[in-house]
Amino acid sequence: MPSMFHSRMLIALILAIVAIGGIRVINARTESDVTPLPNTRLSEQRDAIVTQPPGFNKNLYAISDPSSIWVVVNKRRPLSPKTYTPSQLVVPNMPLRLGTGSSEMRVSAAMSAALEQMALAAKKEGANLMLASGYRSYGSQSAIYSSHVKTYGQVSADRQSARPGHSEHQTGLAADLEPSNRTCEIAQCFGTLAEGKWLAANAYKYGFIIRYRSDKEAVTGYMYEPWHVRYVGVELATEMNKQGTTTLEEFFGLPAAPTYE
Protein backbone atom coordinates (compact mmCIF):
# COMPACT_ATOMS: atom_id res chain seq x y z
CA MET A 1 0.00 0.00 0.00
CA PRO A 2 1.25 3.51 -0.80
CA SER A 3 2.33 5.67 2.05
CA MET A 4 0.39 8.70 3.23
CA PHE A 5 3.09 10.93 1.66
CA HIS A 6 2.75 9.31 -1.74
CA SER A 7 -1.04 9.66 -1.60
CA ARG A 8 -0.79 13.41 -0.91
CA MET A 9 1.68 13.87 -3.76
CA LEU A 10 -0.64 12.05 -6.17
CA ILE A 11 -3.62 14.21 -5.17
CA ALA A 12 -1.58 17.41 -5.60
CA LEU A 13 -0.45 16.32 -9.07
CA ILE A 14 -4.02 15.60 -10.15
CA LEU A 15 -5.21 19.01 -8.89
CA ALA A 16 -2.40 20.77 -10.77
CA ILE A 17 -3.29 19.02 -14.02
CA VAL A 18 -6.97 19.99 -13.60
CA ALA A 19 -6.04 23.62 -12.88
CA ILE A 20 -3.82 23.93 -15.97
CA GLY A 21 -6.53 22.46 -18.15
CA GLY A 22 -9.04 24.94 -16.75
CA ILE A 23 -6.79 27.89 -17.58
CA ARG A 24 -6.43 26.68 -21.15
CA VAL A 25 -10.20 26.36 -21.48
CA ILE A 26 -10.72 29.89 -20.14
CA ASN A 27 -8.10 31.33 -22.51
CA ALA A 28 -9.61 29.47 -25.46
CA ARG A 29 -13.05 30.88 -24.67
CA THR A 30 -11.71 34.42 -24.32
CA GLU A 31 -10.05 34.39 -27.75
CA SER A 32 -12.95 32.58 -29.42
CA ASP A 33 -15.32 35.40 -28.31
CA VAL A 34 -13.54 37.70 -30.83
CA THR A 35 -14.24 36.65 -34.39
CA PRO A 36 -11.04 37.25 -36.40
CA LEU A 37 -11.14 38.89 -39.80
CA PRO A 38 -10.32 36.55 -42.69
CA ASN A 39 -6.59 36.12 -43.27
CA THR A 40 -5.62 38.38 -40.36
CA ARG A 41 -4.07 37.73 -37.00
CA LEU A 42 -5.98 38.69 -33.88
CA SER A 43 -3.38 41.34 -33.03
CA GLU A 44 -3.69 42.84 -36.51
CA GLN A 45 -7.46 42.96 -36.20
CA ARG A 46 -7.21 44.86 -32.91
CA ASP A 47 -4.76 47.34 -34.47
CA ALA A 48 -7.13 47.90 -37.41
CA ILE A 49 -10.01 48.70 -35.07
CA VAL A 50 -7.95 51.19 -33.08
CA THR A 51 -6.50 53.03 -36.11
CA GLN A 52 -9.68 53.13 -38.24
CA PRO A 53 -10.15 56.79 -39.34
CA PRO A 54 -13.40 58.60 -38.48
CA GLY A 55 -15.89 59.59 -41.18
CA PHE A 56 -15.78 62.99 -42.88
CA ASN A 57 -17.24 65.74 -40.68
CA LYS A 58 -19.71 67.72 -42.80
CA ASN A 59 -20.37 70.07 -39.90
CA LEU A 60 -16.81 71.33 -39.58
CA TYR A 61 -17.71 74.68 -41.16
CA ALA A 62 -21.02 76.48 -41.67
CA ILE A 63 -22.65 76.42 -45.10
CA SER A 64 -24.85 79.50 -44.52
CA ASP A 65 -22.30 81.92 -43.05
CA PRO A 66 -20.92 84.05 -45.94
CA SER A 67 -17.51 84.23 -44.24
CA SER A 68 -17.21 80.41 -44.11
CA ILE A 69 -15.08 78.66 -46.73
CA TRP A 70 -17.90 76.11 -47.08
CA VAL A 71 -20.70 78.62 -47.64
CA VAL A 72 -23.10 77.43 -50.35
CA VAL A 73 -24.36 80.26 -52.51
CA ASN A 74 -26.78 79.68 -55.36
CA LYS A 75 -30.07 80.88 -56.84
CA ARG A 76 -32.00 79.65 -53.82
CA ARG A 77 -29.39 80.40 -51.18
CA PRO A 78 -28.60 84.13 -51.26
CA LEU A 79 -25.92 85.69 -49.13
CA SER A 80 -27.09 87.03 -45.78
CA PRO A 81 -26.91 89.94 -45.87
CA LYS A 82 -27.13 90.27 -49.65
CA THR A 83 -24.74 93.21 -49.52
CA TYR A 84 -22.10 91.17 -47.67
CA THR A 85 -18.46 92.27 -48.03
CA PRO A 86 -15.51 90.05 -46.97
CA SER A 87 -13.47 91.42 -44.08
CA GLN A 88 -10.07 90.93 -45.70
CA LEU A 89 -9.34 91.03 -49.42
CA VAL A 90 -5.84 90.84 -50.91
CA VAL A 91 -4.19 90.87 -54.34
CA PRO A 92 -2.66 87.43 -55.00
CA ASN A 93 0.91 87.17 -56.25
CA MET A 94 0.20 85.75 -59.71
CA PRO A 95 -0.46 87.04 -63.26
CA LEU A 96 -3.41 89.46 -63.29
CA ARG A 97 -5.70 90.48 -66.14
CA LEU A 98 -6.13 93.98 -64.73
CA GLY A 99 -4.01 96.31 -62.61
CA THR A 100 -3.65 95.81 -58.86
CA GLY A 101 -5.93 98.79 -58.28
CA SER A 102 -8.93 96.92 -59.69
CA SER A 103 -11.25 95.45 -57.06
CA GLU A 104 -11.70 92.35 -59.25
CA MET A 105 -8.02 91.52 -58.80
CA ARG A 106 -8.57 90.91 -55.11
CA VAL A 107 -9.63 87.68 -53.43
CA SER A 108 -10.37 86.57 -49.87
CA ALA A 109 -7.24 86.30 -47.74
CA ALA A 110 -8.49 82.81 -46.82
CA MET A 111 -7.69 81.54 -50.31
CA SER A 112 -4.96 83.81 -51.68
CA ALA A 113 -2.02 81.57 -50.68
CA ALA A 114 -3.72 78.47 -52.12
CA LEU A 115 -4.43 80.31 -55.39
CA GLU A 116 -0.80 81.40 -55.65
CA GLN A 117 0.46 77.86 -54.97
CA MET A 118 -1.89 76.41 -57.57
CA ALA A 119 -0.82 78.93 -60.23
CA LEU A 120 2.85 78.21 -59.49
CA ALA A 121 2.35 74.44 -59.68
CA ALA A 122 0.44 74.78 -62.96
CA LYS A 123 3.21 76.92 -64.46
CA LYS A 124 5.82 74.28 -63.65
CA GLU A 125 3.79 71.87 -65.78
CA GLY A 126 3.31 74.25 -68.70
CA ALA A 127 -0.12 75.64 -67.78
CA ASN A 128 0.06 79.41 -67.40
CA LEU A 129 -2.90 80.61 -65.36
CA MET A 130 -3.95 84.21 -64.87
CA LEU A 131 -6.60 85.73 -62.61
CA ALA A 132 -9.37 87.12 -64.80
CA SER A 133 -11.83 88.05 -62.05
CA GLY A 134 -11.92 87.60 -58.30
CA TYR A 135 -14.02 89.55 -55.81
CA ARG A 136 -17.05 91.46 -57.01
CA SER A 137 -19.07 93.73 -54.77
CA TYR A 138 -22.88 93.76 -54.70
CA GLY A 139 -22.84 96.89 -56.86
CA SER A 140 -20.34 95.45 -59.34
CA GLN A 141 -22.31 92.22 -59.72
CA SER A 142 -25.49 94.23 -60.20
CA ALA A 143 -23.92 96.11 -63.10
CA ILE A 144 -22.58 92.91 -64.71
CA TYR A 145 -25.91 91.11 -64.39
CA SER A 146 -27.85 94.05 -65.82
CA SER A 147 -25.46 94.15 -68.78
CA HIS A 148 -26.05 90.45 -69.45
CA VAL A 149 -29.83 90.91 -69.33
CA LYS A 150 -29.63 93.80 -71.76
CA THR A 151 -27.37 91.88 -74.15
CA TYR A 152 -28.72 88.32 -73.95
CA GLY A 153 -32.17 88.59 -72.36
CA GLN A 154 -33.34 87.49 -68.92
CA VAL A 155 -33.41 83.72 -69.47
CA SER A 156 -29.95 83.51 -71.02
CA ALA A 157 -28.50 85.96 -68.49
CA ASP A 158 -29.68 83.78 -65.59
CA ARG A 159 -27.76 80.82 -67.04
CA GLN A 160 -24.44 82.64 -67.12
CA SER A 161 -24.50 85.42 -64.54
CA ALA A 162 -25.67 85.54 -60.93
CA ARG A 163 -28.02 88.17 -59.64
CA PRO A 164 -26.47 90.47 -57.01
CA GLY A 165 -26.51 88.87 -53.58
CA HIS A 166 -26.40 85.39 -55.13
CA SER A 167 -22.86 85.42 -56.53
CA GLU A 168 -19.92 83.37 -55.23
CA HIS A 169 -17.63 86.15 -56.43
CA GLN A 170 -19.13 88.39 -53.74
CA THR A 171 -17.67 86.11 -51.05
CA GLY A 172 -14.14 86.55 -52.40
CA LEU A 173 -13.84 82.75 -52.50
CA ALA A 174 -14.39 82.36 -56.25
CA ALA A 175 -12.06 83.11 -59.14
CA ASP A 176 -12.33 83.11 -62.90
CA LEU A 177 -9.04 81.93 -64.41
CA GLU A 178 -7.68 82.06 -67.94
CA PRO A 179 -4.43 81.43 -69.83
CA SER A 180 -1.92 84.26 -69.50
CA ASN A 181 -2.08 84.72 -73.30
CA ARG A 182 -5.87 85.27 -72.93
CA THR A 183 -6.83 82.47 -75.33
CA CYS A 184 -10.43 81.31 -74.75
CA GLU A 185 -10.92 84.08 -72.21
CA ILE A 186 -14.04 83.33 -70.11
CA ALA A 187 -15.17 80.86 -72.76
CA GLN A 188 -16.03 77.16 -72.65
CA CYS A 189 -13.14 76.33 -74.99
CA PHE A 190 -10.89 77.06 -71.99
CA GLY A 191 -11.68 73.51 -70.89
CA THR A 192 -9.91 72.11 -73.97
CA LEU A 193 -6.67 74.01 -73.37
CA ALA A 194 -3.69 72.82 -71.33
CA GLU A 195 -4.66 75.27 -68.58
CA GLY A 196 -8.26 74.08 -68.44
CA LYS A 197 -7.30 70.41 -68.44
CA TRP A 198 -4.67 70.92 -65.75
CA LEU A 199 -7.16 72.82 -63.60
CA ALA A 200 -9.84 70.12 -63.92
CA ALA A 201 -7.36 67.41 -62.90
CA ASN A 202 -5.45 69.20 -60.14
CA ALA A 203 -7.54 72.00 -58.59
CA TYR A 204 -8.73 69.83 -55.69
CA LYS A 205 -5.14 69.34 -54.49
CA TYR A 206 -5.06 73.04 -53.61
CA GLY A 207 -8.56 73.27 -52.14
CA PHE A 208 -10.52 74.30 -55.24
CA ILE A 209 -13.40 72.76 -57.18
CA ILE A 210 -14.70 73.49 -60.67
CA ARG A 211 -18.00 74.88 -59.46
CA TYR A 212 -20.16 74.70 -62.60
CA ARG A 213 -19.74 71.40 -64.43
CA SER A 214 -21.04 70.64 -67.92
CA ASP A 215 -23.51 68.01 -66.70
CA LYS A 216 -24.77 69.79 -63.58
CA GLU A 217 -26.75 72.79 -64.83
CA ALA A 218 -29.95 71.23 -63.47
CA VAL A 219 -28.32 71.27 -60.01
CA THR A 220 -26.36 74.54 -59.98
CA GLY A 221 -28.49 76.58 -62.36
CA TYR A 222 -25.51 77.70 -64.44
CA MET A 223 -24.04 76.66 -67.76
CA TYR A 224 -20.63 74.99 -67.97
CA GLU A 225 -17.84 77.27 -66.70
CA PRO A 226 -14.50 75.43 -66.74
CA TRP A 227 -12.76 78.68 -65.79
CA HIS A 228 -14.71 79.28 -62.56
CA VAL A 229 -13.10 77.79 -59.45
CA ARG A 230 -14.35 77.97 -55.91
CA TYR A 231 -12.16 77.63 -52.82
CA VAL A 232 -13.48 75.19 -50.20
CA GLY A 233 -10.21 74.03 -48.62
CA VAL A 234 -8.11 70.96 -49.32
CA GLU A 235 -10.06 68.74 -46.91
CA LEU A 236 -13.45 69.20 -48.59
CA ALA A 237 -12.10 69.38 -52.15
CA THR A 238 -10.20 66.12 -51.62
CA GLU A 239 -13.22 64.39 -50.11
CA MET A 240 -15.45 65.48 -53.00
CA ASN A 241 -12.88 64.23 -55.49
CA LYS A 242 -12.63 60.93 -53.62
CA GLN A 243 -16.40 60.45 -53.66
CA GLY A 244 -16.80 61.66 -57.24
CA THR A 245 -19.27 64.34 -56.12
CA THR A 246 -18.91 67.52 -58.17
CA THR A 247 -21.40 69.98 -56.66
CA LEU A 248 -21.70 71.44 -53.17
CA GLU A 249 -25.47 70.99 -53.34
CA GLU A 250 -25.18 67.23 -53.79
CA PHE A 251 -22.37 66.82 -51.29
CA PHE A 252 -24.29 68.56 -48.49
CA GLY A 253 -27.66 67.10 -49.48
CA LEU A 254 -29.16 70.46 -50.44
CA PRO A 255 -31.98 71.00 -52.96
CA ALA A 256 -31.02 71.70 -56.55
CA ALA A 257 -31.15 75.38 -57.52
CA PRO A 258 -31.88 75.57 -61.26
CA THR A 259 -34.01 78.73 -60.88
CA TYR A 260 -34.57 81.59 -58.48
CA GLU A 261 -37.40 81.20 -55.98
Output the CA–CA distances (angstroms, integers) from residue 178 to 114, 133, 199, in the order listed.
17, 9, 10
CA neighbor of 111 nearest in space, from 24, 174, 195, 48: 174
Sign of torsion over alpha carbons 198, 201, 205, 209: positive
Q: What is the rounded CA–CA span in Å between residue 249 and residue 256?
A: 6
Active site residues: 225
CA neighbor of 232 nearest in space, from 214, 216, 245: 245
Find out whether 171 and 71 touch, Cβ atoms under 8 Å. Answer: yes
CA neighbor of 246 nearest in space, from 210, 222, 221: 210
For residue 130, the cross-strand partners are: 178
**CA-angle at 95, arms to 89 and 98, nearest 5°:** 70
Find out whether 133 and 225 touch, Cβ atoms under 8 Å. Answer: no
